[in-house]
């Protein structure tokens, strides 16, 4: 057994064991997710104290290496599928999950049946614990035969069996358990590269150790040279390291922290960074300034934390507008795009104004502004308005103009749905109308009427009228009934609606052309999707005809949507 050891965590992930961590009262257990050694007897393992426990050190932390408890007998008679006895054994508590623990999968009935199937290897529970086709040695001696020892798994997740303590076979093996003794201390964060640094900065960290009696000693280093050390570090307290970047040479540097618990447990955290020349800065941020049809100015400042002499170059596209040598730091400078310069640009072209500042030591900063050279957008009279709650169809008047006399296309919309589009008559009053038909199609809530004016050079203006709708009742029927050759005797109506929170009524008549049609309540039949048989058999008009009427009333206090999207049906 001395050739089979568990040591420090290997660097290659494929060579690392997988453990399931379980907090069991005041103990912390790491249970291997599978058997890692077969053809080994219980005596082999016990001879090296791997059954009841031996102390080992992994990555500076102490553990008790042992096997699981699995019960010393069948729980119920000789039923191997009933589990182990006593039921407090670790296999049944954790693997069979008779004790509900968050994060551990529960076996399904297929995992617990008496058939070893291919699916047992790939089920959620089987893939988590890898019990299928392999027994795990447990600590207990079988009370029915002192020459045998408990086995768990193989056929079922709950299966209990026993085997001679000296027997070796390829379907019985060792599933190690680590019981945490001394835990290595911890340092927050991860080893990482902090990137380029050109100004002093602060690194913060905390230390911790689950062993309450351990005394933690912390040592801080910069570039391998100790800069600070202290004992009795407080668990969870934030400590800070001031890194004097400006005093360091250009190049790569490290800051590291080591914590020692005095019992062989250690942890180290390393941060790497590159000391670089501080590039100069330009105030503001890169922006798209949008459409421009007149000259404009951009104000900015430049600076350099190293105090280097700065040179500023202002450009419009590839043309240099101005160069400022020994530019003043922290003072307002102005880049100006005159009308003359703007008008020299192609209409509808996208252009770039750029400020470049360099410190003569390789440090350069840029600030870029883009804009589109456009003509003046058309104008729409008035201002955007909130019209509040409306109760029906309404209109708004407006006038469109264009200072350059360009042809202007008007698009009127309700909630981004086009109402109409036409060529504006400049300076003449026009009207946008929300018709009764479109009003009825709107849901309750917020809406907007929008006027978009676009000239031949694609300059655009928009006017918006916001409003809300809060109808509590829907009442409609066909404006023109369906004419029938003879008296309709039956009708079927199948609406598509959302009427939770409302009372709904449906009516139909077969003498719809009468001055006073005989409306019959067909609501009950509509709700059960059944044909309604007309009662009326008379008419005063010259023609028979069918009409349908819907009446939906929202319940007081109900805030949800009530709507009808349409309906189908038939009559005869």
**517-558 pLDDT, tens per residue?**
999 999 999 999 999 999 999 999 999 999 999 999 999 988
Q: Confirm if 326 and 289 have CB atoms less than 8 A apart.
A: no
114-128 average pLDDT score: 96
Q: Which two tokens stand for residue 442?
A: 């709107």
> What pLDDT score does 429 carry?
96
CA–CA gap between residue 220 and residue 273 (Å, rounded): 16
Q: What is the largest CA-CA distance in the chain?
A: 110
Q: Angle at CA 424, nearest 5°, toward 421 and 429?
A: 110
CA–CA gap between residue 10 and residue 20 (Å, rounded): 18
Specify the higher pLDDT residue, 345 or 440: 345
Question: In whole numbers, what is the pLDDT of the chain averaged over residues?
Answer: 94
* Model confidence band, residue 421 (pLDDT cutoffs 50, 70, 90): very high
CA–CA gap between residue 254 and residue 138 (Å, rounded): 48
Domains of the chain plus CATH, in order, are: 13-180 (no CATH), 186-275 (2.60.40.10), 281-373 (2.60.40.10), 379-469 (2.60.40.10), 473-571 (no CATH)
Residue 543 CB contacts under 8 Å (≥ 6 apart), including other chains: 483, 513
* Model confidence band, residue 3 (pLDDT cutoffs 50, 70, 90): confident
φ, ψ of residue 109 to 5 degrees: the values are -60, -35
* Model confidence band, residue 174 (pLDDT cutoffs 50, 70, 90): very high
Q: Angle at CA 56, nearest 5°, toward 186 and 180?
A: 50
> What pLDDT score does 211 carry?
84
Q: Which of 514, 531, 520, 382 is nearest to 453 (CA)?
A: 382
* Model confidence band, residue 451 (pLDDT cutoffs 50, 70, 90): very high
Residues of the chain with pLDDT > 70: what percent?
Answer: 100
Residues of the chain with pLDDT > 90: what percent?
Answer: 78
> What pLDDT score does 264 carry?
67
Q: Which two tokens stand for residue 495?
A: 């609406």
Residue 225 scores a pLDDT above 90: yes
Instruction: End-to-end CA distance of the chain: give it in Å, rounded.
Output: 91
> What pLDDT score does 114 carry?
95
Q: Which of 457, 271, 451, 244 is nearest to 349 (CA)?
A: 457
């Amino acid at each position: 057994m001395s050739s089979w050891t568990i040591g420090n965590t290997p660097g290659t992930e494929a060579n690392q064991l997988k453990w399931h961590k379980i907090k069991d009262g005041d103990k912390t257990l790491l249970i291997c997710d599978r058997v890692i050694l077969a053809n080994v007897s219980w005596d082999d393992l016990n001879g090296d104290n791997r059954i009841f426990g031996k102390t080992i050190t992994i990555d500076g932390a102490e553990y008790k290496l042992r096997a699981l408890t699995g019960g010393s007998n069948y729980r119920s008679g000789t039923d191997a599928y009933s589990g182990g006895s006593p039921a407090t054994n670790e296999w049944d508590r954790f693997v069979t999950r008779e004790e509900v623990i968050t994060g551990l999968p529960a076996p399904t009935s297929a995992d617990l049946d008496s058939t070893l199937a291919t699916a047992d290897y790939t089920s959620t529970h089987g893939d988590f614990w890898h019990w299928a086709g392999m027994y795990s040695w447990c600590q207990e001696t079988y009370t029915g035969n002192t020459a045998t020892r408990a086995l768990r798994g193989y056929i079922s997740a709950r299966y209990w069996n026993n085997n001679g303590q000296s027997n070796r076979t390829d379907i019985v093996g060792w599933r190690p358990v680590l019981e945490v003794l001394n835990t290595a201390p911890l340092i927050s964060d991860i080893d990482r590269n902090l990137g380029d640094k050109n100004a002093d900065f602060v690194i913060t960290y905390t230390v911790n150790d689950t062993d309450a009696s351990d005394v933690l000693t912390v040592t801080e280093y910069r570039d391998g040279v100790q800069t600070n050390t202290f004992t009795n570090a407080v668990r969870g307290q934030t400590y800070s390291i001031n890194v004097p970047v400006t005093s360091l040479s250009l190049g790569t540097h490290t800051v590291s922290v080591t914590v020692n618990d005095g019992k062989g447990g250690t942890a180290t955290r390393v941060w790497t960074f590159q000391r670089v020349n501080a590039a100069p800065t330009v105030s503001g941020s890169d922006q798209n300034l949008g459409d421009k049809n007149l000259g404009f100015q951009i104000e900015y400042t430049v600076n350099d934390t190293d105090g280097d002499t700065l040179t500023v170059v202002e450009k419009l596209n590839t043309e240099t507008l101005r160069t400022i040598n020994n530019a003043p730091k922290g003072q307002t400078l102005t880049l100006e795009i005159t009308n003359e310069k703007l008008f020299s640009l192609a209409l509808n072209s996208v252009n770039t104004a750029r400020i470049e500042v360099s410190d003569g030591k390789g440090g350069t900063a840029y600030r870029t502004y883009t804009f589109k050279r456009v003509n003046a957008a058309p104008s729409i009279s008035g201002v955007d308005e909130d019209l509040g709650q409306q109760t029906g169809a309404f209109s708004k008047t407006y006038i469109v103009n264009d200072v350059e006399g360009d042809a202007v296309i008007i698009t009127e919309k309700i909630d981004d749905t086009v109402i109409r589009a036409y060529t504006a008559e400049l300076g003449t009053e026009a009207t946008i109308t929300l018709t009764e038909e479109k009003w009825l199609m709107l849901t309750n809530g917020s809406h907007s009427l929008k006027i978009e004016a676009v000239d031949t050079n694609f300059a655009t203006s928009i006017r918006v009228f916001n409003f809300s709708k809060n109808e509590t009742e829907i009442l409609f029927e066909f404006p023109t009934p369906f004419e029938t050759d003879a008296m309709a005797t039956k009708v079927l109506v199948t609406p598509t609606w959302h009427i939770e929170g409302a009372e709904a009524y449906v009516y139909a008549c077969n003498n719809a052309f009468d001055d006073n049609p005989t409306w019959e309540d067909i609501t009950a039949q509509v709700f059960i999707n059944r044909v309604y048989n007309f009662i009326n058999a008379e008419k005063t008009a010259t023609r028979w005809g069918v009409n349908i009427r819907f009446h939906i009333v929202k319940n007081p206090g109900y805030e949800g949507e009530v709507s009808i999207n349409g309906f189908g049906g038939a009559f005869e």
